[in-house]
Structure 1
Amino acid sequence: MNTLDARARRHPVYWAYLLHRLSGLALALFLPLHFTLLAQALDGASGLDRALALTHSPLVKIAEWGLVVLLSLHLAGGTRLLLIEFGPWRGPRKDWIAGAAGFALAAGLAFALALFA
């Protein structure tokens, strides 16, 4: 790795890029599990009730919180990219990154409050 690569990986824009890509990958891995759970409704109400009984464990509640954080991170990162590419202004990239991270944190905290209240 040359010095330009190491310097680029310390830049906040690189971390925003990495978080956006990793959150998208994690969401893509989650979707088959989600659709499998929803498919239990095809077996009738009893099949769905059995599947939904799993969602009462603390581990699943924490995973749901993580999912909301991933969704909000991915949404904010995608919005940041759209604003940078198609917006008429050219501001500092760090402001957009901080806004995206703040949005994701606020969404995660709001969901955690609603989940455990």
Structure 2
Amino acid sequence: MDLRPRSHPTYLAFVVHRVSGLLLALFLPVHFWALGSAIQGEARLEGLLRWTDNPLAKAGETVLVVLLAAHLAGGLRVLALEFLGWRARQKDMVAASAGVALLVGLVFLFNVV
């Protein structure tokens, strides 16, 4: 029986890690489709690259980078818990993971725009 409330930061970190992983897995077929356009010819790739200049595509790229950073930071947090035994500082690790993910997303956003 789980005695921790669902609003606990570690539960929220668990959810963010799982949801980000699921969304990244759903993105993979789109990514492979985009890579496949490079094989189909220069004109098709050029059309795709022009489409990525769209502000909606830029926003999607930023969300993707935040998802990647959140999933990586969450995975590192889980590894630290399993191998280092830092159970007393779980809330600090959750906050650090979220901060790193948002910082990476902001850096990417400001470099892209």
- The TM tier, using the shorter chain, reads over 0.9
- Percent identity, aligned pairs only, is 50
Specify the alignment match of 2:71 in structure 1: 74
Q: How many positions carry a matched residue from both structures?
A: 113
Q: Report what 1:85 is aligned to.
A: 82
Would the alpha carbon gap of residues 26 and 8 (structure 1) be closer, same or farther in structure 2, given more than 3 Å must change? same
**What is the alpha-carbon distance in structure 1 between the residues aligned to residue 86 and residue 12 of structure 2?**
22
Question: SS at 2:78's partner residue?
Answer: helix
Q: State the partner residue of 1:40.
A: 37
Flag structure 1 segments of 5+ consecutive residues without an equivalent.
none
Deviation per residue, 1:57-92 (Å, 9 max, x gap): 100000000000000000000000001101154432
Residue 46 of structure 2 is aligned to residue 49 of structure 1: yes
Distance in 2 (CA, whole Å) between partners of 1:23 and 1:13 is 15
Q: Which has the higher mean CA deviation after the structures are superposed, 6-15 or 36-45? A: 6-15
The two structures have a TM-score, normalised by structure 1, of 0.90
Could you tell me how far apart the structure 2 residues matched to 1:108 and 1:50 are? 26
Opposite residue 16 of structure 1, the aligned amino acid is: A
One-letter amino acid matched to 1:112? L
